[in-house]
Amino acid sequence: MPGFVRRTLGPVLDYDARRGTALVATMDAYFARGMSPARAKDVLHVHVNTVAQRLDRVARLLGDDWQSPHRALEIQLALRLHRLAGALGD
């Protein structure tokens, strides 16, 4: 599954690694809170504008259709697999 995660989230993972940002965590919180920036901000402890700016960066990295139903499902699966791999030490 690492290939799927890399193909799906690669640009975001690379951006976070290079810049020390939290785009993956923001996406995770965003999806976990029903795609609501207002609810994601509470989990992330940032201003809603920060969430919006991060999600704009995600769109630039993954493409404007990243929130479409088909892509969103793939991204959520990749996020979950990425989180599980981290929990397992991979």
Query: If you ran DSSP here, which 8-state letter would residue 66 be given?
Result: G
Give 45-57 pLDDT, tens digit per residue. 999 999 999 999 9
Residue that wins the pLDDT comparison between 86 and 43: 43
Number of structural domains found in the chain: 1
Exposure b/e, 9-33, CB count within 10 A at least 16 = b: beebbebbeeeeeebbbbbbbbbeb
Distance CA 34, CA 13 (A): 22
- Structural domain range at position 58: 2-87
pTM exceeding 0.85 = yes
CATH assignment at residue 25: 1.10.10.2840
